[in-house]
Structure 1
Amino acid sequence: MQADYPVMRDVVLVGGGHAHALVARMWAMAPLPGARLTLINPGPVAPYTGMLPGLIGGHYRRDEIMIDLVRLARFAGARLILDRAAGIDTAARQIVLHDRPPLPYDVASLDIGIGSDLPDLPGFARHATAAKPLGDYALAWEAFVARRLAYPRVVVVGGGVGGVELALASAYRLRAGGAQPKITLVERAAEILPHIGAGARRSLLDHLAKAGVAIVTGETPVGATATEVALTNGQTLGADFVLTVAGSRPQGWLGETGLALERGFVTVGPTLQTSDPQVFASGDCAHMTHAPRPKAGVFAVRQAPVLFHNLRAALTGAPLRTYHPQRDYLKLVSTGDKAAVADKFGLRAGGPWLWRLKDRIDRKFMAMFGDFPAMPAPALPANAVPGLAEVIGPKPLCGGCGAKLGGPALAGALAALPQPARADVLSGRGDDAAILRAQGGVQVITTDHLRRFTHDPRLMARIAALHALGDIWAMGAAPQAALTQVILPRMSDTKSAETLAEVMAEAAATFAEAGADVVGGHSSVGGELTIGFTVTGLARRALTKGGAQPGDALILTKAIGTGTIMAAEMAVVHLPGLILGEAVAAALTSMTQSSGPAAAVLAPVARAMTDVTGFGLAGHLLEMLDASGCGAQVQAATIPLLPGAMKLAAAGESSSLAPANRALTVGRLMLPEGPLRALLHDPQTGGGLLAAVPAEQAEEILERLRAAGYDAVRIGQVVAGPPRIEVIQSND
């Protein structure tokens, strides 16, 4: 387990390519005290290039070829920012991002890959799919295969090794599904496969012929529609799926950085430094001036140890190492079926045994990002007080709302709190916010804070702000003002100022979006980042948890499962068939969705409302039922769940607060043990609103909520009887 040292310097990795993935893994095993690692990537996963043809051919599941950057970042103790880089300000030492303010760096590295699209050709941006970035291609291909066309037509633009490999994989996959495909390979040069040995080329041409792949050479596409590709000679090719693998296109924004470029690619020397010594580059986006090589993943993989050393050396003053690539390398080209052709130094071999060799090599690489080695937790001293291990528990304490005190302990602590003595304090404990008398109506006031569950302070600030605002919206009030409470971990003065500025800027933007002002607050230094807000709101009348009536429809505006997903992320859980990073990204998207517009729809018509947070859906629904003196029937099939939540719950993953939440519902939740019951106890951070509305208005309300961007559902109804929840499961 890594010690938390004060942050003094920032190392920022831009892009989740192979070199950076390996650097992050090495960093996990040997972090640099005082340095913070940040990884920026548009999505939560990065595909492994070597296994892409196997995925297209149907030999691998999608999760088998994806490097989960979320799990990797957690293992490395790194900050992960899911955004796209748009530039570098080398003078200010900032990475310019697409969707958020610039991010400071002390040392940066680029591994952003290349593109293979043809944006200048009419229709290609809309009707063609580029092989790179690989992740988008993989999704588009699976969607195409799912159409199950009987006579699918595929046009592959680009007759290099990549185009040939993907044409063969496409033909195999479609035939295996019972289709009769027509695959056409288009190459502008006079012949395909110009950069491979003669023996391997002859073998691959033979495979193309046997697979029925037509080859068109000496022609260039000039446009595409939804059904065809036009060539320079006037010929048109019928096409249901168009794939471009033609050449390597660098990211356009690199030209605005001021870094030295070669044909748009960043030039690097033997130390992998660019023309700015504080910026490094690796992988396909880099051009090695000392040893030019074709674009191939093998070089990125072998650059990683040198890059890892040099990033650290740039901060510590240690000598830099140099990278000198091999002259040639073994190329294993898959042939669609489970066979491959090898090429190195002009030699040629082929057959199923080469596929098995390639498969072993690829799986060995991906195994480095599967089950990460366990990092030992500090041992308890021998003379510890009895029971200490049980209190600590077998898993780390969750962040977010999963870190709050359990219901029974909280109720006991509040039992002795006196009732409000002032006449203008209309209610205190027991609802989402206190209610104060105000001119023309009431003022509600609440406070909330969250322990860090992500290393991204800006993301934490938005989620914490929306989480605190949930109590105001749940009472039908308009947010008014907020005070901020921030505990910063130990950092240098510069990093503390940067972090606090990030938190306050994001908080101010989030509250302004809700119509409220941030009017001040308090900061201190402590063990970890904690962000909280005290928020006030105004209303003509406060909407409470009481007031639900039998027959009312129960509407929930967000899916549940954030606690389970984030607990699994903290534990770096690896489940075959699940890409945890994508589940985490979906959970974060849910947490950062404001409930303000939903409250505007629900508050005028709801008889009772609350937000679903730390006590889970079951706990908060029971609070509403207790206050209203009613029961509820909930349809199990209608309960919305975040992607991956059910699979994780079935595997036993849960938040550290879940046991206390289960204690709240004993004897009052009619549902057998299982993953769904576990998720009903799952603490939610930034959860949705739960409202009891007149049944006759439910459908209109749902339509308005969905039009506002919510995946809102009717989960059940309020019924007469004691306050308990009956979950009805389908007999199908």
Structure 2
Amino acid sequence: MVQSDLPLTRDLVLVGGGHAHALVLRKWGMDPLPGARLTVINPGPTAPYTGMLPGHIAGHYDRDALEIDLMRLCRHAGARLILGAATGIDRAAREITVEGRGAVAYDVASIDIGITAKMDLPGFAEHAVGAKPLDRYAARWREFLAAVKAGEQPPEVAVIGGGVAGCELAMAMAFALRDAGGQPAVTVVEHGPQLSGMAPRTEAMVRRQMAELGVTVALEAKVTQITDRQVLLADGAPIPAALCVGAAGAVLQGWLAQTDLPLHAGFIRVGADLGVVDDDRLFAVGDCAHMEANPRPKAGVFAVRAAPVLHDNLRAALSGGARRVFKPQRHYLKLISLGGKSAVAERNGLALGGALLWRWKDRIDRKFMDGLDDLPAMKTDALTGPVASGVQEALAGKPLCGGCGAKVGGAVLGDLLAEVQPPVSGDVLTGAGDDAAVLRRPGGGFQVMSTDHLRGFVEDPAMMARIAAVHALGDVWAMGATPQAALSSIILPRMSPALQARTLREIAVAAQEVMAGAGAQIVGGHTTMGAELTIGFTVTGTRDAMPLGLGGAQPGDVLMLTRPIGAGVILAGHMAGTAPGRVVAEALGVMATPQAREAEILSKAHAMTDVTGFGLAGHVQAICRASGLAAELWAEAVPIYPGAQTLSDQGVASSLLAVNQADAPIAAAGPVNPLFHDPQTAGGLLAALPEDAAKAAQARLRGEGLAGHIIGRLEAGVPSIRLR
């Protein structure tokens, strides 16, 4: 029996995307534990790497070089990534609470969420940023540097904390500000009589470099308040600061202090096996943990060294095996960046500095990141021996996509419907061929009915449920109808009864939120187990007037699209492990967002559909054929998901692309962008309406923070599409 045929029986949850967890994901992907379902909870799809942060602040590394791509790592590990912040833990119920999501159950869990440098000072929350969490600080710095370059902010920075981190960041910021052409005023504010955390020789070298960069040091300075322009001191003149950074001390993230976890000075107490001292199902690692057997300072090196032990002990906790002991080294090498491309190395009180040390540090950091980025490509089963004619052509060298990329081609469906569909009669006014069937409603008015399902393309059942619900409702919205009721159709991968209950609960909560928000009620459904996760809904809606359809568009109407295209390429890239995590996360967020308001604003269009599996061209063609018109698309006006064009240019494509290109040809003077035929999942509404009405709708959409893009025009002629 292959691993994919084994039932899932235990849930392992990693809370946070810290260095140790990132390394566990990489190792897990090489040898997953059969029967274990792995989940990662993190606020974003990436996590910053501590070692390269000063270099990023100084401008030596771009954002991509700094960030660990958790989305790709989770795909490699077969894990689901839940994008949300953990806000609580119920150890009795074994549940992690996630903001905006609810509870996520675990059998074994590990916490690696780092620390915060947020300080309890008047005005800090409103006017300052902590150096940790790193991603928030890095984002705030990028905004500030851009404002300085634009002349909108003075290059004045105060760093509260004269330890290694504070000095390192002060030098990096001074270097970047000077490199931007300004005369920086950067001040390190230290409450003690000297800089801390450094040997005397190291401190002397750091002080010399700070002086060269124009960084001022204020010692024995007690901060009383932070304003939007100054740091006020108990004694001495205020320090000018358009940006204030807190880098003094380490504080556990707030929600952990509200739990019943065993803490030491605010940090989670763990034993020699990295397990929480009174809980054999829970682990903690990195800066948020206090190692009772071998206390160590807060440094990333210990998290990196702990990762192999954590990986083995998590597997042991899931399977009943023996656990290993983590023995951190007593002394470790400190490599301190000096703003420019030079660094100081310190170990056992000895220090050495120079450009060679920076190059050494750079190699160490890049090697670490390369190890997390150089992941094996998605495996495909190679064909051996003879195969039936047409097999190679049908595969086209690509695995089957998820979402709407797995649909059957439009021409195949059209031919079948033309052959077998009976004529409509009685209360059935329209059948297959439009977005939904239209039925006469007893008592007056009309009812629409449609069904849709999605083959899983992300491991998170709740995210899949949200997107599947939005996707199914698209057919109702596209006909200008109000959603009414829904039936669910769910296929779960093989799993134990406990995991079935957890998974169905997550699906139900997510689906109910979307359906109820749209005004529809889930009235039942059907659930089975099968080879992979599949979620679908049969939906109905009502409308007093005759529902909108594909026909009815008029010559001179313009085409309006409410969402970007390129989702199919992004999902294909994600399934292949090549799409950047930020790109995937942004697209998923759009796909999971309902379009009720867009549908209401466009409800008086002449014709409307939603762009799904047949791609933009296929759905434009459907309007053209039903309305007897030709279409001109304006290539530059068509919105594209960020990152989709880059992936397409790299050769990433959905398995349905070739079929869509054959079914809906576009006349053009040059090559046609493949994204025009890219299959969409939960795609935008495509409406045909008079130009004045389109501009009015566009203004209303914009006023509500929504989008409407006028992408082309319809005209009299043989149904066809040409590109301008």
TM-score normalised by length of structure 1: 0.96
Give the SS at the match of 2:541.
strand
- Residue 451 (structure 1) shift: 0.3
- Residue 238 (structure 1) shift: 1.4
The 2-side partners of 1:106 and 1:388 are apart by 43
More displaced 10-residue stretch of structure 1: 201-210 or 701-710: 701-710
Partner of 1:573: 578
Give the SS at the match of 2:159.
strand
- Residue 500 (structure 1) shift: 1.9
1:724 maps to which of 713, 720, 724: 720
1:258 maps to which of 257, 260, 264: 260
1:377 paired with 2:380, answer: yes
Maintained 8 Å contact 1:671/1:726: no
1:433 paired with 2:436, answer: yes
The 2-side partners of 1:672 and 1:451 are apart by 35
1:561 maps to which of 559, 562, 566: 566
The 2-side partners of 1:60 and 1:421 are apart by 63
More displaced 10-residue stretch of structure 1: 247-256 or 148-157: 148-157
Partner of 2:275: 273
The 1-side partners of 2:518 and 2:357 are apart by 60
Mark the runs of 5 or more structure 1 residues left unpaired by the alignment.
575-579
1:495 paired with 2:493, answer: no
More displaced 10-residue stretch of structure 1: 133-142 or 55-64: 133-142
- Residue 477 (structure 1) shift: 0.8
Paired residues for 1:580-729 under 5 Å: 580-603=580-603, 605-666=604-665, 668-670=666-668, 672-673=670-671, 677-728=673-724
Partner of 2:363: 360
- Residue 699 (structure 1) shift: 2.4
1:223 paired with 2:225, answer: yes
Maintained 8 Å contact 1:554/1:717: yes
Give the SS at the match of 1:195.
coil
Paired residues for 1:381-420 under 5 Å: 381-420=384-423
Maintained 8 Å contact 2:3/2:34: no
Deviations 1:672-707 (A, max 9, x none): 325xx2111111111111111221122221122123
Maintained 8 Å contact 1:47/1:66: yes
Maintained 8 Å contact 1:44/1:68: yes
Paired residues for 1:139-154 under 5 Å: 139-147=139-147, 148=149, 152-154=155-157
Give the SS at the match of 1:206.
helix
Amino acid at match of 1:600: E
**Residues 421 and 642 from structure 1, CA distance in 2 versus in 1: closer, same or farther, beyond 3 angstroms?**
closer
2:551 maps to which of 546, 555, 574: 546
Amino acid at match of 1:630: L
Maintained 8 Å contact 2:424/2:430: no
More displaced 10-residue stretch of structure 1: 249-258 or 354-363: 249-258
Give the SS at the match of 1:670.
coil
Give the SS at the match of 1:637.
helix
- Residue 4 (structure 1) shift: 4.8
Partner of 1:577: none
The 2-side partners of 1:471 and 1:132 are apart by 45
Give the SS at the match of 1:415.
helix
The 2-side partners of 1:64 and 1:711 are apart by 32
Give the SS at the match of 1:416.
helix
1:15 paired with 2:16, answer: yes
Maintained 8 Å contact 2:24/2:308: yes
- Residue 642 (structure 1) shift: 1.2
Maintained 8 Å contact 1:618/1:669: no
Maintained 8 Å contact 1:558/1:711: yes
1:333 paired with 2:331, answer: no
- Residue 354 (structure 1) shift: 0.4
Amino acid at match of 2:267: F
The 2-side partners of 1:28 and 1:140 are apart by 33
Give the SS at the match of 2:170.
helix
The 1-side partners of 2:634 and 2:617 are apart by 13
- Residue 101 (structure 1) shift: 1.6
- Residue 88 (structure 1) shift: 0.8
Amino acid at match of 1:357: W
Deviations 1:446-502 (A, max 9, x none): 010000011111111111111011001101111111111111111011111221222
- Residue 384 (structure 1) shift: 3.1
1:520 paired with 2:520, answer: no
1:122 paired with 2:118, answer: no
The 2-side partners of 1:721 and 1:226 are apart by 62
Maintained 8 Å contact 2:561/2:710: yes
TM-score normalised by length of structure 2: 0.97
The 2-side partners of 1:230 and 1:430 are apart by 70
The 1-side partners of 2:8 and 2:320 are apart by 18
The 1-side partners of 2:160 and 2:505 are apart by 48
Aligned residues: 717
Paired residues for 1:54-73 under 5 Å: 54-73=55-74
Maintained 8 Å contact 2:377/2:577: no
Amino acid at match of 1:134: L
Maintained 8 Å contact 2:563/2:639: yes
Give the SS at the match of 1:3.
helix
**Residues 387 and 418 from structure 1, CA distance in 2 versus in 1: closer, same or farther, beyond 3 angstroms?**
closer
Partner of 1:531: 535
The 2-side partners of 1:694 and 1:721 are apart by 18
Amino acid at match of 1:711: A
Deviations 1:48-98 (A, max 9, x none): 100011111111111011100000000000011001101110000011111
